Amino acid sequence: MRKDGIILIAEDNEGHFELIRKNLLRAGICNEMLHFADGQETLDFLFKMSKKPEQERNNQEYILLLDIRIPKVGGFKVLEKIKQDTELKKIPVIILTVVDAPHAIERCHNLGCSTYIVKPTKYEDFEETVQKIGRFLSVIEIASLK
Amino acid sequence: MKKNDGKAKSLSGKHKQAQKELKLSEIKFKELFDNVSSGVAVYQAKNDGEDFVFVDFNQAAERIDKINKEELIGKSVLEVFSSVEDFGLFEVFQRVWKTGKAEHHPVSQYKDERIVGWRDNYVYKLPSGEIVAIYDDITERKRSEQALKMSEQCFQAIADYSYFWEIWISPAGRPIWTNPAVQKVTGYTIEEIMAMQDYPMPLVHEKDRARVARAFRSALNGSSGREFEFRIRRKEGSVIWAEMSWQPIYDKKSNSIGHRASVRDITKRRYAEQKYGTIIQAALDGFWICDKSGRILDVNDSLCSMLGYNRKELLSMSISDIDALETNKQTNHRVEKVLKSQYGRFETRHRCKNGRIIDVEVSTNYIDFEDGQFFASFRDITSRKKAEEALQESEEKYKTLLRNVPQKIFYKDLNSVYVLCNESYASDLNIQPDEIKGKTDYDFHPQELATKYRTDDKRIVQSGKMEVVEEGYVKDGEELIVLTLKAPITDVKGNTIGLLGIFWDITDYKRVEQTRDKLNKELEAKNKELKSILYAASHDLKSPLVNIQGFGHELSQSCKLIRSALVSKDKTQDMEKAVDNALKKDIPEALDFILTSTEKMDLLLSGLLDLCRLDTTVMNVKLIDMNTMMADAVANIEYQIKEAAAEVDIEKLPPCLGDVSQISRVFSNLLTNALKFLDESRPGRTHIYGSSRDNQSIYCVEDNGIGIAPEHQEKIFEIFYQLEPDKRKGEGLGLTIVRRIIEKHNGKIWVESKLGKGSKFFISLPSV
């Protein structure tokens, strides 16, 4: 991921967002991070952006960290909608949620998520996980939106 | 005559003497002539034997021919006896006249218009030329001869054609005469028998010779015998059974002239006797013959073994010694009955020698033989009787069972027609059990049910398999549910012959089952709810916990930074900036998050506790005046209403049954929700109204807020669900608690809402 890639974080818990942000920073990720508190906001942003004329998008790289339990439009729906759009489906979606149920994991993968990560309860593990995500992000390549 | 006178005198004396002697002799002759018993007729021949005229005729002749002497003297014989020529006698006269030789005209019948009779004639010629006929009327003799001949012929015919072999034996024991039947019976011809040496031994079976010899000897001695049975060895060798009877024959002087014997072939009879005798003897049934007074005349072995007496003993007993059931009077009555109808069949009891009493079935027939006899056969039916008794007992048991068992039991034939049923079912149908025969379900039950029963019957009969069905049943107009067991009944060959049904009322049980099912469903729902609560709780509590832990860590990081800055000798600008940042931003932020999270957890836990308490709190149910309650609730949140710049209208509300504090909480919650989700574009107006329907009061809290999207309308009642979490304060338990309270009051809550327009929350509660 390029340094100018934008990390979209759909997370209803503000505290969680902050912790994620801090720990990503600690992992060396200093990309722009956008916070969306609910599914509706997330979709609005993405679809508005996808409708923008090409030059305004200028090859922007996006990655979405998505919690399933977000209000208004739920995480599954958001994932579904993104993966149904021809352009937006290129955006890798990493599910980051407390939900650990196997059927949720399966459903997300069926809908097309890239990865499913369960938020650990213990903070140390949470910290570590987020930092691992950061290191992961630093090595991956993303298809940019045209 | 001599010339001498003296001589002449002796001559005439001799002449006189001669004449006297002639006269005497004439008189003698006349006497003889008149008195002889035979008829004498004297004729003078005329015309040299052409005709003969009566000269004399004696008394006997007069008698025989019934004619007087005077009538015929001088007449021609042809005149008096017109048929004398035909008779053949005239010819004899002529011959005798010519030849002078005497002739005998044999016995012949003389017949003319006047007289008829049998004559035996002897004709001779007198030296004087007269013809004399001496004759006798032998008509009587002839008649008796003929009669004898006739009777002889009759007897001959009888003897010849007799089926029986008739044989006459001389006193010396030799056959005198025998009839043609001998050949049929013995195979020997008449000639062979008559010539048989050592008669009768050659034709007697070796084993019977001694007996026959004895009988023969006694016959020769003048005995009679009858029904003597012995075996004949026929000429060709086969053996037959014969029965003989004999009697001595005497002449007029009572001298024995031998004996006659009559023999007949009784092989068939003997065979029949043997056959029937064997049958009776070999029969398993006991058999006896007794006379009219009940005395036993004959028995077979089976009877002996049946009763335990031997033959000799039984032959000395009578019915009354054996029969253990009837008195003599009854026996006599029975005898009369059998006499009348010639046969009888009945059951009675016999006493055996060892005292044991057995049941017997009797079949008896009357035979009009000798003085009248009864032939009876007996079958020991003791075991059958015992089995019958056992069956009856068993039947009684089952009958009692059927009678008293509360279940309804019935039996139908292959066409679903009732054959019988027990008391319990019959009383349901208001009939006697025996009245059900011939009826069908259509006579008792509603058409639909009857058709269903019949269809089931058909199916079960065809499949041959028992079925247990739950089905409807109507008794006294009440609809019940019964459990029916229908089983096909088969005969020994395995063919279905009918249907047995048992059913009983399970309506109550079903009700209980239904209640149980309902309770189970409720339990399941509650469990599900509990699970989801636990699940949601664990997640929703985890979230703030992560924050607390996380920001706690952040705090410690900030503290580390400050400490390291404090102890550092070299305070760089970066370090200062970092410390400043930590003190001004990070630490407050962290603390804020920690506190918020703890608050959130507190709220959540309180809400959970509330929910739990809800189940255990005792409800104080009474009729609530909703108007006052609503007014109070509104008054309590007056401050929030003012702050939200909203208005609340309350219409007249019907009362309901419930716990005041809980119902109050419900509406407080709904009101606060309405205030929470205001649409910013217009002033909030909440409308509260209600109506009555049946036993329910229905209330509505209507707002003009932001409304609820359809996909959320159910979810809002879910635990911990928050429409707009961080923006509006709350723990997401409100509506869950509200719904729980309503449910506990046996009420209902539902929402109608349009996004952007507003929401209507409906609550129905019992009013009675």
Task: For chain A, give every domain's residue range.
Answer: 6-139
Comparing alpha-carbon positions, the chain B residue that sits nearest to A101 is B535
CATH 3.30.10.20 for domain A6-139, yes or no, is no
From chain B, the residues in CB contact with A18 under 8 A are: 551, 589, 593
The Cα of A72 is separated from the nearest Cα of chain B by a number of Å equal to: 7
The Cα of B590 is separated from the nearest Cα of chain A by a number of Å equal to: 9
The Cα of A110 is separated from the nearest Cα of chain B by a number of Å equal to: 22
- B411 pLDDT band (50/70/90 cuts)? very high
CATH 3.30.70.260 for domain B405-505, yes or no, is no
B762 pLDDT more than 60 = yes
Mark yes or no for CB contact A123/B593 under 8 Å. Answer: no
User: What separation in angstroms does the CA of B415 have from each of A125, B19, B35, B498, B503?
Assistant: 80, 140, 117, 8, 19
Mark yes or no for CB contact B550/A71 under 8 Å. Answer: no
From chain A, the residues in CB contact with B544 under 8 A are: 15
Mark yes or no for CB contact B726/A37 under 8 Å. Answer: yes
Whole-number Å distance between alpha carbons of B30 and B129:
18
Q: What's the start-to-end Cα distance of chain B, in Å?
A: 201
Whole-number Å distance between alpha carbons of A27 and B129:
211
Whole-number Å distance between alpha carbons of B666 and B687:
15
Whole-number Å distance between alpha carbons of B189 and B236:
12
**Tokens matching residue B213:** 């010899």
| Stretch B347-366: mean pLDDT | 89
From A18, A37, A121, residue closest to B545, measured CB to CB: A121
From chain A, the residues in CB contact with B724 under 8 A are: 71-72
Helix axes A75-84, A102-111, angle to 10 degrees: 20
Q: What angle do CA B530, B599, A33 make, to 5 degrees?
A: 95
Please count the residue pairs, one from chain A and one from chain B, whose beta carbons lie less than 8 angstroms apart: 55
Least Cα distance to B747 among B758, B737, B755, B739 occurs for: B739
B728 pLDDT more than 60 = no
Comparing alpha-carbon positions, the chain B residue that sits nearest to A121 is B546
The Cα of B486 is separated from the nearest Cα of chain A by a number of Å equal to: 49
B554 pLDDT more than 80 = yes
The Cα of A15 is separated from the nearest Cα of chain B by a number of Å equal to: 6
pLDDT at B29: 82
Tell how strand A6-10 and strand A32-36 pair up.
parallel
From chain A, the residues in CB contact with B549 under 8 A are: 122-123, 126
pLDDT at B344: 84
| Sequence letter at residue A106 | E
> What is the separation of C-alpha A20 from the centre of its chain, rounded to a whole number of angstroms?
11
From chain B, the residues in CB contact with A14 under 8 A are: 593, 726
Task: Give the residue from B545, B549, B677 with the most A CB atoms within 10 Å of its CB, the best one to mutate.
Answer: B549
From B539, B544, B725, residue closest to A71, measured CB to CB: B725
Strands (E), A27-113: 32-36, 62-66, 93-97
φ/ψ (deg, to 5) at B767: -105, -5
The Cα of B683 is separated from the nearest Cα of chain A by a number of Å equal to: 24
pLDDT at A92: 92
Whole-number Å distance between alpha carbons of B713 and B264:
125
Task: Give the residue from B546, B561, B599 with the most A CB atoms within 10 Å of its CB, the best one to mutate.
Answer: B546
From A14, A22, A121, residue closest to B546, measured CB to CB: A121
User: What separation in angstroms does the CA of B252 have from each of B143, B249, B255, B257, B448?
Assistant: 20, 10, 7, 10, 109
Chain A touched by B723 (CB under 8 Å): yes
Give the number of C-alpha atoms closer than 13 A to the C-alpha of residue B155, restricted to the C-beta side: 9
SS3 B138: coil
The Cα of B759 is separated from the nearest Cα of chain A by a number of Å equal to: 17
- Tell me the sheet residues that pair with B474: B479
pLDDT by residue (tens digit) across B453-508? 999 999 999 998 999 999 989 888 888 999 999 999 998 888 889 999 999 999 99
Task: Give the residue from B547, B561, B598 with the most A CB atoms within 10 Å of its CB, the best one to mutate.
Answer: B547
The Cα of B561 is separated from the nearest Cα of chain A by a number of Å equal to: 14
Domains B405-505 and B618-766 share a fold: no
Task: Please enumerate, as own/partner, the contacts of A14-17 that have beta carbons within 8 Å and a separation of 24 or more.
Answer: A14/B593, A14/B726, A15/B544, A15/B546, A15/B547, A15/B550, A15/B551, A15/B593, A15/B596, A15/B597, A16/A67, A16/A119, A16/B543, A16/B546, A16/B547, A16/B550
Instruction: Write the CB contacts of A139 (distance below 8 Å, at least 6 apart in sequence).
Output: none
pLDDT by residue (tens digit) across B243-298? 999 999 888 888 888 899 999 988 888 888 888 888 888 888 889 898 888 889 99
| Sequence letter at residue B416 | S
Mark yes or no for CB contact B552/A98 under 8 Å. Answer: no
Q: Where are the domains of chain B?
A: 1-32, 36-139, 162-270, 283-386, 405-505, 512-599, 618-766
Residue B247 contacts residue B260 (beta carbons within 8 Å): yes
Prediction pTM value: 0.44
pLDDT at A83: 93
The Cα of B542 is separated from the nearest Cα of chain A by a number of Å equal to: 7
Chain A residues interacting with chain B (CB cutoff of 8 angstroms): 12-16, 18-19, 22, 37, 69, 71-72, 98-99, 119, 121-124, 126-127
pLDDT at B729: 59
SS3 B317: coil
Whole-number Å distance between alpha carbons of A93 and A82:
9
Chain A touched by B547 (CB under 8 Å): yes
Comparing alpha-carbon positions, the chain A residue that sits nearest to B551 is A19
Cβ neighbour number for residue A16 with a 10 Å cutoff: 23
Chain A touched by B758 (CB under 8 Å): no
Give the rounded percent of residues in chain B with a pLDDT score beyond 70. Answer: 97
pLDDT at B86: 86
Residues of chain A with pLDDT under 50: none
Whole-number Å distance between alpha carbons of A97 and A115:
11
Give the rounded percent of residues in chain B with a pLDDT score beyond 90. Answer: 22
Mark yes or no for CB contact A15/B542 under 8 Å. Answer: no
From chain A, the residues in CB contact with B553 under 8 A are: 123-124, 127
pLDDT by residue (tens digit) across A16-29? 898 899 889 888 88
CATH 3.30.450.20 for domain B283-386, yes or no, is yes
From A15, A72, A126, residue closest to B593, measured CB to CB: A15
From chain B, the residues in CB contact with A37 under 8 A are: 726
Mark yes or no for CB contact A18/B723 under 8 Å. Answer: no
The Cα of A82 is separated from the nearest Cα of chain B by a number of Å equal to: 20
Domain B36-139 CATH superfamily: PAS domain (3.30.450.20)
pLDDT at B727: 52
Residue B763 contacts residue B741 (beta carbons within 8 Å): no
Greatest Cα pair distance in chain B: 267
SS3 B232: strand
Q: What is the DSSP letter of B432?
A: -
Chain A touched by B603 (CB under 8 Å): no
Mark yes or no for CB contact A69/B553 under 8 Å. Answer: no
The Cα of A146 is separated from the nearest Cα of chain B by a number of Å equal to: 34
**Tokens matching residue B712:** 């959320």
Mark yes or no for CB contact B723/A71 under 8 Å. Answer: yes
| Stretch B91-112: mean pLDDT | 89
pLDDT by residue (tens digit) across B314-355? 999 888 888 887 777 887 888 788 878 878 888 888 899 998
pLDDT at B488: 93
| Sequence letter at residue B161 | Y
Mark yes or no for CB contact A15/B724 under 8 Å. Answer: no
pLDDT at B724: 58
CATH architecture of B162-270: 2-Layer Sandwich (3.30)
Least Cα distance to A36 among B726, B552, B103 occurs for: B726
Chain A touched by B724 (CB under 8 Å): yes
Give the number of C-alpha atoms closer than 13 A to the C-alpha of residue B10, restricted to the C-beta side: 5
pLDDT at B564: 86
From chain B, the residues in CB contact with A15 under 8 A are: 544, 546-547, 550-551, 593, 596-597
The Cα of B762 is separated from the nearest Cα of chain A by a number of Å equal to: 24
DSSP B587-644: HHHHHHHHHHHHHHHHHHHHHHHHHHHHHHSPP-EEEE-HHHHHHHHHHHTHHHHHHT
The Cα of A112 is separated from the nearest Cα of chain B by a number of Å equal to: 23
From chain B, the residues in CB contact with A126 under 8 A are: 546, 549-550
| Stretch B75-91: mean pLDDT | 88
From B543, B549, B724, residue closest to A98, measured CB to CB: B543
Task: Give the residue from A11, A22, A126 with the most B CB atoms within 10 Å of its CB, the best one to mutate.
Answer: A22
CATH 3.30.565.10 for domain B618-766, yes or no, is yes
From A12, A98, A123, residue closest to B726, measured CB to CB: A12
